[in-house]
Every structure is written in structure tokens, then in C-alpha cells.
Amino acid sequence: MHRSSEVKHVASYLNTRGCECFGQPCESHCPVLTDRTIHVQLKTFIKIRVKPDRTGVVTDGVKHSMNPFCEIAVEEAIKLKEKKLVKEVVAVSCGPQQVQETIRTALAMGADRGIHVEVSGKDYETLGPLQVSKIFAALAKKEQADLIILGKQAIDDDCNQTGQMIAALLDWPQGTFASEMTLEADKMKVVREVDGGLETIKIKLPAVVTADLRLNTPRYATLPNIMKAKKKKIANVKPADLGVDVCSRLEVLKVDEPPQRQAGVKVETVDDLVGKLKEAGRV
């Protein structure tokens, strides 16, 4: 969750999103690493209330679940493994104890092992794309990963920065907003959904890819896989072990709810409309 000085943007997001877990709030940061490897960032979304002291949002007792774009990323990783194009899928999450649940969900979908990068308390509240991407870059080097797949953005802060930052830190090529990815020899062909349409690029591995909505439809974990997930390992790591400083360079000044939507006004004629717009100083 990354809070920036763009308070209005964050706040207006907060109220338009609901939660998909039958009304239960949820939150987590959860990137995924793999060994020949797929890195997926998992994040989730929150039914949010602004804290009374306006320093942020209420996170107490918030249930964690996976960011939808990250689910798509995990699914793609597992698909690559099923096609025998990758050897191992590792799911990674940065956050407090609760993120282990999210990692287990990724394991139940088919990831081989998990890594929990423990960040809690104040550090977690200020954790943002820059710190997460540094953690990833360090892990990628340590695990000798070949491919990192993340969700294109987290739906709690909509930053859309982590994937790009990881690529920059590692000096790896990136294929963002992927709606299709195909491994061709040592290159990844990525079809990107951009404003103008679809762009196809070929990037050399190791690389970073961020998943967009139409990349695939994530599978439901099967019961046997849920059972197998129990036996898969989740390693515990601290940012300090990776040589990463999670201190934030940003200070949140305040967090507000968006202004209440005002009732509209009906007008009879175009002249009336122009008149009203002039009155409101819009024209």
C-alpha cells in the first residue's frame, strides 16, 4: 500500500472500490519469485475507512487476499510450468504474518514454494513500490531468477510502478500490461495492451512482465492442491537480510474521503444548461 502526496487520488480510489470477499476487508503485498522463475506480485483490495486522525486508512483486523492482477500473474506462471517451460514457481509476499495465507493460496494454485519477506508495523504502513521493487531485485539476484511476473498494479493504491522499478533496478527488459506472453527460445514475446491498441514486443530473458486483465482466467485451487500446499515450504526473510532499507522517502500529509457527490440538476433547454454552467463558473 503506497500513500503518496497525491492525497486526492488515493482518497477518491478508496470509496469507489468494494471488497470481493463477501464484505470482508482484505489487504496484502505479495510478490512472487521463481527459479527459472516467475515473479508475481500479489496485492489485494480493501474495503476502506479513513482513520479518524486522517493519517491513513483503517487496517486493523483486515483480512488478506490476493490482488486480482497478481492472481492472473500466478496463473500465468503455473501455466508456463505446466508447459514445462519453467522449472520452478516461487511465490513471494512482503508484509506482516497474515500474508502467509496469500502465499498459501498461490501454493494451492500450483506454485512450488513461497518466500515471506517480513515487513510489519510502521514499516509496513509506509511500504511502497520503491521498497518492494528493491526487495524483489535483491531476491531475484539471490534466487537467480529468470523471469518475474507481477500484476500490473495493486488495486489498493493503483501505483503501477513496482514492475517497472524492478526492471530498472536490475537493468532487465520489461513487458508491461501483458495480455499475452509466449516464450520463444530465450526471448519472451509479449503482447501489450496500450491506449492505442496492442503492441507486440520481444524481450530477452531475464525479464520482468506485468500481467493485465486479459492475460488469462485464474484457476480455482483444487482440493488435492490445497492439501499439497500444506506441505510446501514458505521461507522467512527480512528486508535487512537482503540489504534493503524499507524506509519511506514520502510523508503522508493527510488522507481524506472524496467529497460527497452532489445531487444533479435537470435543465429543460440547452440555453438553460449553458446558463447554469456559466453560473457555476465552468464556462
Partner 1 sequence: IYAYFVPLGLHNRAAQLIEFLILAELPELHQMMRQTCRDYAQKELAPIAAQLDKDHKFPAKQVKELGAMGVMAVEVPESLGGAGMDYLAYCLAVEELSRGCASTGVIVSVNNSLYLGPILKFGTEEQKKQWITPFTTGERVGCFALSEPGNGSDAGAASTLAQQEGDEWVLSGTKAWITNCWDASATVVFATTDKSLKHKGISAFLVPMPHPGLSLGKKEDKLGIRASSTANIILEDCRIPLGNMLGERGMGFNIAMQTLDSGRLGIAAQALGIAQAALDCSADYAHKRTAFGAPIGKLQAIQFKLADMALAIESARLLTWRAAMLRDAKKPFTKEAAMAKLAASEAATFVSHQAIQVLGGMGYVTDMPAERHYRDARITEIYEGTSEIQRLVIANNILKEYQQ
- Give the footprint of partner 1 on this chain (CB under 8 A): 20, 22, 101, 104-105, 108, 220-224, 226-227, 229-230
* Strand ranges inside 172-223, DSSP E: 174-184, 187-194, 197-204, 207-211
Please, what is the minimum distance in Å from the beta carbon of residue 218 to partner 1?
A: 10
Q: Give the other-Cβ count within 10 Å of 276's Cβ.
A: 13
Please, what is the minimum distance in Å from the beta carbon of residue 162 to partner 1?
A: 25
CA dist list (Å): 149 to 25, 36, 40, 129, 155: 25, 12, 4, 15, 16
Order of strands, sheet of 234-237, starting from the edge strand that comes earlier in the sequence: 41-43, 29-31, 90-95, 113-118, 234-237
Specify the residue, 227 or 277, whose C-beta has the smaller distance to partner 1: 227
Please classify residue 278 by burial: count the beta carbons closer than 10 Å to its beta carbon, then call 0-12 exposed, 13-18 middle and 19+ buried. exposed
Specify the residue, 109 or 170, whose C-beta has the smaller distance to partner 1: 109
Q: Which residues pair with 91 in a beta bridge?
A: 114
| Distance in angstroms (rounded) separating the CA atoms of residues 215 and 154 | 16
Please, what is the minimum distance in Å from the beta carbon of residue 101 to partner 1?
A: 8
Specify the residue, 7 or 213, whose C-beta has the smaller distance to partner 1: 213
Please, what is the minimum distance in Å from the beta carbon of residue 19 to partner 1?
A: 12
Specify the residue, 16 or 217, whose C-beta has the smaller distance to partner 1: 217
Specify the residue, 99 or 137, whose C-beta has the smaller distance to partner 1: 99
Please, what is the minimum distance in Å from the beta carbon of residue 12 to partner 1?
A: 23
